[in-house]
Structure formats: structure tokens, C-alpha cells
Structure 1
Amino acid sequence: MEEPNRIDPSLPTDALRQQIEVVCDRMEQDYANGFYSKLSVVRNWSKHNPELAGKIARPSAYRWYLRRELFKLARRGAELSVSRSRPRVDLSSPTLLELIDETEFDLTRKKVFLFGPERSELSIARLEHYTGTKAEDFQRYVLLTNYQMHMEAFAAQFPDSVTGNRADVQMPALHHRENENRGISIVNIGVGPSNAKNLTDHLAVLRPDAMLMVGHCAGVRNHQEIGDFVLASGYMRGDHLLDAALPPSVPITPSFLLNRALAHALDEAKFPYRIGAVYTTGDRNWELSIKQTLEHLRASRSIAVDMESATVAANGFRYRVPSATLLCVSDKPLHGQPKLPSGAKAFYNDTKQQHIAIAAAAIESIKGQFPNGLPNSDIRAPEESLMEGLDSTPDEDTE
């Protein structure tokens, strides 16, 4: 039996970081040799859960995150050690689905890592399959779109972006890489709430600092114009896709810090925008059954209709990933301005670069203000996984 690698919390900063690198190397070596790693944490200050342990899979995919979180725990005085755990599970095993079934899984129960190793393995494999890119290339800040033109605008703004070597992927991705994965990724998730859930289910395993939906919407207010931006202040979950996993009565709001950065970027650029609720539907042709939709729009005071934003936000809430929504009004069907080919091309050409530029500017602002990650206490339950809680302190411990 191999001896565990230990992290000494009393070490000076540079020595501590070096020791964490050795531990991360150990986890990657365990994984390469066909095993999960066991991370054990002892927190003498915790009255209820002083000792916890969890298993880590594919550590190279989120090594930046492990570095950051292990350093934070050590600086708080936690005793940390890593040892070899059980053999990795074959993803083709008939028992896999039983191991990752989240039906009865309590996402708020105290644990080291939010996801089990099998769930991490499967999600990373699917993420790489859908996007055609390595999980290690994903950055901390992720833009989600459903338009190829936004991918082109991103590539124009970040010409050094890397992508996969397959042209036939379902959800193409580009990654503007920076040290410690502090760059920006963009994924074309396609249209609809099912695609939004699919991608964010798997993306959450990589623990990004933020997800930002950049798409188009139908404007429903008189004083909105084609090309105006919409900044979501809340959501009407008309898609119902996650109702079983997250009751509709649970309030879902975007990250205040992300919204503040987006609003500042819009103000600086002097682009017109409106703040309000976004109604997300699962019906691409919602205009064809307008009566019920109108009732929902009036009741929720929604200012726009789309097909992904509420789903992304709801999954961000479930998996503790801060999110926000920046949409652009592409049509106004309630005002005799449906989306038609004649006007769509000009609109797309006029807005695509602006849209990506605003999103990127907001993210750069966030990175400057919060270099160690975006605080997420507003989407955390009283009992949470250890490797989070960017703005927590020891005396807040309720575990």
C-alpha cells in the first residue's frame, strides 16, 4: 500500500503551493494507473463533520480548481492527504448508471467534491464528445450561444483560440486559453432547453467560475427595438424541463456581480438595454399558441422570450455555478416584427461583434475584481461541498 501524500498547512506560501503541485501530480499518476484518488480532509474547527473524504477522477481536467481549493483549505488550517483509492469504473459497465443516478442524490449533503468520480468521468467524456475539445482546454469563464456567428465573432476577437480537430461535432467550442485556465471558452449549444441542460449538466463537473448565456430573444415591450440588449433580472421557467429536479417555486436569479459587470460594460459602450425577467419556453413556435404565453408574460412581467436562459440559470443554481444572461432582441412578433430572412442578416452582422465584446469586457472586469474566483455564497446551501465557498470563513462553519 502506497503512503499518502500529505499537505502541511503550516508551510510558507511558496512551499505550500509546491506541495500542492506534488499532490496534484500524485492524483494524475493514480488516474493514469487506473485508480481514483482519495482526498481526505480533517478540519479541527468543524463541530459536526471534522473528517471527510472523497474520490477524485480525471484531475487534470480541473487541476487549476484543485490547486485553488486545496490551497484555500490548507490556509484555513485543514489537514489534507491524498492516497490511492479503488480502481476506475469502466464507462461501458452495466452498473455505471446505478452509480451516477442523481434521483435520490442530495446535492446539499456535506462532501468533499460535489460529484462522484463516475459522474465526473462520464460528464468529461461526454463534454469532449459533444465539443470535440479536451476538457483541459475549458476555461473558467464559459459563454454559451446557439449561433455560429457568435463563434465567428469570438474567433475574430480571440484569434489564438483553440478548437477541436473534428468538424462534425454537435456543440463546437473555442477556448481562449490563459494561465491557470483564466481565459474564456465559448460553446455553441444549439437551440432549446434540452441542449442547454445537456451541456450544463456536464460542464458543471469542471467547476467553472461563471456561465454566461449570450443569445437572441423576442422582445415583448413596446419601447424595445431590434438590436437592443436584454439583461435578465430573473426567469420564468416556461420550459418545465427541470421542474422535477428543482421545483418551480424555487427563485432563480442571475449573479448580481455578473449582472453589475455586464450593465457597466453596456453603459460604457452606450448600448441600449433593458433589465427584466426572461421567459424561457420549450416551444420553438410559441407565437402559434399565443393566449397562454401572453398570460405568462403579463404575470411574470417578462420583457423577452428565449429557449435556453432559464434552463442554464436553473442548472447553474443546482450545481453552484454563477450565471447570467445577455440577450439581444432579434424580433418582436407581438408588434408585427417577426424574425424573417430579409431583416435577420443585417441584424446579425450589426450585433454579433458587439455581443461578444460586451460579454468579454464584463468577464475581464470580474477577473480583475475577483482573481480567486467569483463569490457564490448566494447559491450555496447551509451544508455544502468543501471545495467551494470562495467568500467563507471558519466561523461561518455549520457543518
Structure 2
Amino acid sequence: MSAGLTRYFPTTELAQIGDETADGIYHPTEFSPLSHFDARRVDFSLARLRHYTGTPVEHFQPFVLFTNYTRYVDEFVRWGCSQILDPDSPYIALSCAGGNWITAETEAPEEAISDLAWKKHQMPAWHLITADGQGITLVNIGVGPSNAKTICDHLAVTTPGCLVDDWSLWWLT
């Protein structure tokens, strides 16, 4: 089955993926690129984001926070649930790693999230979604700078508006 699929849907060859435009080394010819990344790179990165975070790529918001502390995740989820219940808040839903979708109609939202489905993913994400797509994404990158580099490389294709890590905010705690 899978051998037949690769004839029509070949896997991405990493050697053929180019970041020349994003890296500033693209030399324009008669044609100019439509985006910073070629289609193969975008496809590969979107698939990796889905794999690493356990959430649909469509749920990523333009403002992305990184953490490696579970307590920050717990507080983000608690705050996010309170925002969803607030009728004056712009936030309408919380998308969680493992496929949980929380809205104002969800009974006991914090209990629904705490089923530990997020532990199946290397860098689980939570997306606090607004109707106009200007929400916040929190990614728990775990331990190590290699995870931070990996997720940032893949997030680059989504052109986020702002990336903030909790290491630059250490003085707030």
C-alpha cells in the first residue's frame, strides 16, 4: 500500500529543501519567489509541527510563547479557561495537545484537559484562539535548546507575529 502511495506522493528529500530566500542568499532571476520557503519545506514543516505539538497546524496563533515549565502550562490553561468563560474576552476556544477542544460550553474544562494526552507529544502546544485569529499559542519545548531550535525552524513557515520564551522573562519570577 505505502509503496504505491510514494509513486504519487513522494516523501520529502531534505537535501532538496531550500531556505535560500529566507537566508538572504537567493539570487533572483527572471522569476521571483512567492514566499520565503519553497512548497516542500512548508509541507515538511507543517507536518512536523503537527507531529511535535499534537495539535492541528490551523490552530497556531500569531503570538507564540515557549516554556519548559509545566507550572506555566498549568497557569496558561487555567487563565485560558477563565478567558473563554468571560463574555467580554476575545478568546473563544482553547485547542490542546491530544485533540482536546475547549469552549465556553465545555463542562469542567480543566479536568477535560488533564487527561495527560499531551504527554504523548515531544513539544505539546495549547492555542488560545480568537475569532479574528489574533490569539496566543503556548509550546512546552521541554528541556534543551535543540527542541527550541527545531520548533522555531518549523514555525518560521507560519510567519508568527511574535515569539517569546520564558528564559528572557526569568526576572519576573
For the criterion TM > 0.5, the same-fold answer is yes
Map of 1:130 onto structure 2 = 52
**Aligned to 1:327, which of 146, 167, 170?**
170
Matches within 5 A, 1:15-94: 90=9, 92-93=11-12
Contact 1:143-1:187 at 8 Å conserved across structures: yes
- Tell me by how many angstroms 1:101 deviates: 4.4
Q: Say if 1:91 and 1:153 are closer, same or farther in 2 by CA, change over 3 A.
A: farther
- Tell me by how many angstroms 1:163 deviates: 0.5
User: Is residue 204 of structure 1 aligned with residue 156 of structure 2?
Assistant: yes
Contact 1:142-1:212 at 8 Å conserved across structures: yes
> Counterpart of 1:327 in structure 2: which amino acid?
W
**Aligned to 1:149, which of 71, 74, 78?**
71
TM-score, normalization: structure 2? 0.67
Q: Which runs of 5+ in 2 are unaligned?
A: 1-7, 27-31, 85-93, 99-116
| Aligned length, in residue pairs | 129
Matches within 5 A, 1:213-362: 213-215=165-167, 325-328=168-171, 351=173
Distance 1:183 1:203 in 2: 15
Which consecutive aligned stretches of 4+ in structure 1 deviate over 6 angstroms post-superposition?
A: none
The structure number with the bigger radius of gyration is 1
Q: Which runs of 5+ in 1 are unaligned?
A: 1-88, 216-324, 330-350, 352-399
TM-score, normalization: structure 1? 0.31
Distance 1:153 1:214 in 2: 13
Q: What CA deviation, in whole Å up to 9, does each residue of 1:18-42 have, x standing for no partner?
A: xxxxxxxxxxxxxxxxxxxxxxxxx
Map of 2:136 onto structure 1 = 184
Contact 2:68-2:142 at 8 Å conserved across structures: yes
Distance 1:112 1:92 in 2: 23
Distance 1:328 1:148 in 2: 18
Distance 1:91 1:201 in 2: 22
Map of 1:194 onto structure 2 = 146
- Tell me by how many angstroms 1:91 deviates: 5.4
> Which of structures 1 and 2 has the larger relative contact order (alpha carbons within 8 angstroms, sep 6+)?
2
Q: What CA deviation, in whole Å up to 9, does each residue of 1:85-121 have, x standing for no partner?
A: xxxx83525xx2232144xx24224632111110000
Considering only aligned residues, what root-mean-square deviation do their CA atoms show, in Å? 2.0
Map of 1:322 onto structure 2 = none
Contact 1:213-1:326 at 8 Å conserved across structures: yes
Map of 1:98 onto structure 2 = 15
Map of 2:89 onto structure 1 = none
